[in-house]
Amino acid sequence: MLENFSFRTIAEYLPLFGQGLVTTVWLSALSFIGALVVGIVLCAANLQRAWMFRAPAKAYIDAVRATPLLAQLYFLYFGLPRLGFVLPELVVGILALSLNSGAYVAEIIRAGILSIPRGQVEASVASGMTYAQRMRLVILPQAFKVTIPPLLGQAIVLVKDSALLSLISVAELTRAGQLLASDRFMPAEGFITIAAFYLLLYYGLKGLAVLSSRWLGTAGARI
Amino acid sequence: MIEFTFWDIVRNLLLAARWTVLLSLAAFVGGALVGLVVLFFRIAKNKWSKRVASGYIALFQGTPLLMQLFMMFFGLPMLGLRIEPWTAAVLGLTFFASAYLAEIWRSGVDALPRGQWDAGASLGLHYLQELRLIILPQAFAITRAPTVGFLVQLIKSTALTSIIGFEELVRTSNAINNATFEPFKVYGLVALIFFVMCFPLTQYARRLERAAAR
């Protein structure tokens, strides 16, 4: 295999890999934005005192975190058409990734908010702030700092998870590798090339996480 | 055409779940053994040993597991090795787990105060004895929560081996779904079985975390 490793074939397929990489990047970015929205809503519900908000959010988070993304993806991919929603694969994929990652994002944000010492809350209550003021001026700015590095960690997970969309025939990076592997019967060339691209994204996001924790003064935080 | 009753579906899924459990256990044990070796290289004083181990960890943490499984299943036969779905699944998940476990335990080793090593040295222990008697037991103890957390991730990851043809829970459910056209029932049950396996472990990990924070 390795003695006739064909760089020429890789070069020939490079435009396809390029498109795959671009698709992986933007669909991950969209899913991440979706996950942030889902996560913020879930977290807000989860931090309410009222049982009727807290319980469903908690149930959703626990259910998503204890089941595989692949099962969730199939659930939506095969299930939605039965309900009459015939959506393009790409949309189903982004939906599944957003709904899945949202549960993890919710827990990251919650951990950030709960990491603020109790005394801060008491101090802001004592100085006569309302709940909204307390959140906006005291809690969230500090929580924001500690959540950025783990959120970037979740972005790394999301990029890797997006490989699963190749299974519902979304033309992203892993799909490009599969095409080369099956068209030319060159699995090494196909999969080593996409490994290199994924590592590029991984090191990029990891570098960003390290930089952000340095800027925000939370160096040493777990990413 | 064969008719599936609800209990046929449940029974078939539960039978398939045995393979999910077995694969998770095999990958966890294999991953722990290989992970120990990687950890050993990762915390060695030699610069190159550290770099190689870091590269290994980045390779498996930085790429999708699906791609790693494809590499095992389609790549290894090109080296002349006979590979079947279950060998590719166990090997792929073992390497995957080893990288994560090595990194988790390394954080435990790093968290120990320098004095622990010094104390070991002053008692006349050599490097391996220090590791075995002083450093690793403590490193394992303080990383128990993330280790259990990773086990949950590993159990969920076994779902991906369905793609390379390993007959576990998700692959069986695909077959049943193709026969019954009842995706909500079939995948809902699959999710429920995974939930029953994983949720107690996530709760356990959460409890360990809380105990450690105290």
| CATH classification of the domain holding A89 | 1.10.3720.10
B162 touches chain A (CB under 8 A): yes
What is the distance between the alpha carbons of residues A26 and B96, in angstroms, rounded to a whole number?
26
- The band of A8, judged by pLDDT with boundaries at 50, 70 and 90, is confident
Are the C-beta atoms of residues A109 and A61 closer than 8 Å to each other? no
- Chain B residue whose CA is closest to A173: B67
Cα–Cα distance between A211 and A149 in angstroms, integer?
Answer: 9
In a domain, A11, yes or no: no
pLDDT in tens, B34-83: 999 999 999 998 999 999 999 999 999 999 999 999 999 988 888 888 88
Q: What is the pLDDT, as a whole number, of residue A218?
A: 63
C-beta of residue A42 within 8 angstroms of C-beta of residue B131:
no
Alpha-carbon gap: A130 to the closest alpha carbon of chain B (Å): 30
Could you give the number of structural domains in chain A? Answer: 1
Say whether pLDDT at B91 is over 60.
yes
Closest alpha carbon within chain A to B202: A66
Distance from C-alpha of A66 to C-alpha of A104, rounded to nearest angstrom: 11
Nearest chain A Cα to B177, which residue? A78
- Separation between Cα atoms, residue A186 and residue A1, nearest integer Å: 9
For A149, the enclosing helix (H) or strand (E) is helix A140-161
Query: Are the C-beta atoms of A28 and A162 separated by less than 8 Å?
Result: yes
Residue A18 covered by a domain: no
Q: Which residues of B touch A66 (CB under 8 A)?
A: 152, 156, 194-195, 198-199, 202
**Amino acid identity at B126:** H
- Residue A10: band (very low, low, confident or very high) from pLDDT cuts 50, 70, 90: confident
Rounded Cα distance between A208 and A221, Å, is 13
- Distance, CA of B163 to CA of B152 (rounded, Å): 20
With residue A179 as reference, give the H or E element that holds it.
Answer: helix A173-183
For residue A10, is it within any domain? no
> What's the pLDDT score for residue B6?
87
Q: What pLDDT, on a 0 to 100 scale, did the predictor assign at position B210?
A: 87
Per-residue pLDDT band at B181 (split at 50, 70, 90) = confident
Answer yes or no: do A195 and B63 touch at CB < 8 A.
yes
Could you tell me if A163 and B64 are in contact, meaning their C-beta atoms sit under 8 angstroms apart? yes
Separation of alpha carbons B193 and B155, rounded Å:
11
CB contact under 8 A, B187 and A202: no
Cβ-based contacts of A195 with chain B (< 8 Å): 59, 63, 67, 71
**B69 close contact with A: CB closer than 8 A:** no
CA atoms within 13 A on the CB side of A45: 20
Domain limits for position A194: 23-215
Lowest-confidence region among A131-145, A195-209, B18-32, B153-167: A131-145
pLDDT for A223 equals 47
Which CA distances in Å does A120 have to A43, A79, A140? 20, 46, 12
Contact (CB, 8 A) for A22 and A90? no
Looking at the predicted structure, is the pLDDT value of residue B103 above 80?
yes
- B165 touches A at CB < 8 Å: no
Confidence of residue B29 (pLDDT cuts 50, 70, 90): very high
Average pLDDT over residues B20-38: 97
Q: Is residue A18 scored above 60 in pLDDT?
A: yes
**Model ipTM?**
0.90
Tell which residue, B54, B72, B93, B63, has the closest CA to residue A196.
Answer: B63
Taking the domains of chain B in order of start, what are their residue ranges? Answer: 6-213
B67 and A177 within 8 Å at the Cβ level: the answer is yes
The amino acid present at B46, given as its one-letter code, is N
How far apart, in whole angstroms, are the C-alpha atoms of residue B47 and residue A61? 42
AA identity, residue B169: L
Chain B residues in contact with A174 by the CB 8 A cut-off are 64, 66-67, 70
> Is residue B2 less than 8 Å (CB to CB) from chain A?
no
Q: Which residues contact B146 (CB under 8 A, 6 or more apart)?
A: B104, B107, B205
A164, A174, A202 ranked by CB distance to B58: nearest:
A202
- HSE-up of B17 (CA within 13 Å, CB side)? 16
Compute the distance between CA of residue B198 and CA of residue A49 in angstroms, rounded to an integer.
27
pLDDT band at A3 (very low <50, low <70, confident <90, very high): low
Q: Chain A within 8 Å of B71 (Cβ-Cβ)?
A: yes
Mean pLDDT of the residues in chain A = 91
Contact A195 B190 (CB under 8 A): no
- Whether residue A3 lies inside any domain: the answer is no
Over residues A165-182, the pLDDT tens digits come to: 999 999 999 999 999 988
Kindly list the distances between the CA atom of residue A33 and the CA atoms of A44, A51, A64, A95, A98, in Å, as whole numbers in the listed order: 17, 28, 18, 11, 8
pLDDT at A185: 84
Amino acid at B70: F
In the predicted model, what is the mean pLDDT of residues B144-164?
A: 95
CATH number for the domain formed by residue range(s) B6-213: 1.10.3720.10
Residue A221 lies in a domain: no
pLDDT at A99: 97
Distance of CA B211 to the CA centre of its chain: 24
What is the mean pLDDT of the segment spanning A143-153? 90
Distance CA B83, CA B91 (A): 10
pLDDT band at B2 (very low <50, low <70, confident <90, very high): low
Q: Which of residues 32-61 of B touch A (CB under 8 A)?
A: 58-59, 61
As a whole number of angstroms, the distance between CA A188 and CA A169 comes to 21
Count how many Cα atoms sit within 13 Å of the Cα of residue A218 in the half-sphere of its side chain. 19
Residue B167: is its pLDDT beyond 50? yes
Alpha-carbon distances of A153 from A166, A222, B160, B207, rounded to whole Å: 22, 9, 21, 23
Gap between the Cα atoms of A163 and A83, Å rounded: 26
| pLDDT over 60 (residue A222) | no
pLDDT in tens, A49-87: 899 999 999 999 999 999 999 999 999 999 998 888 899
The answer to whether the Cβ–Cβ distance between A181 and B61 falls below 8 Å is no
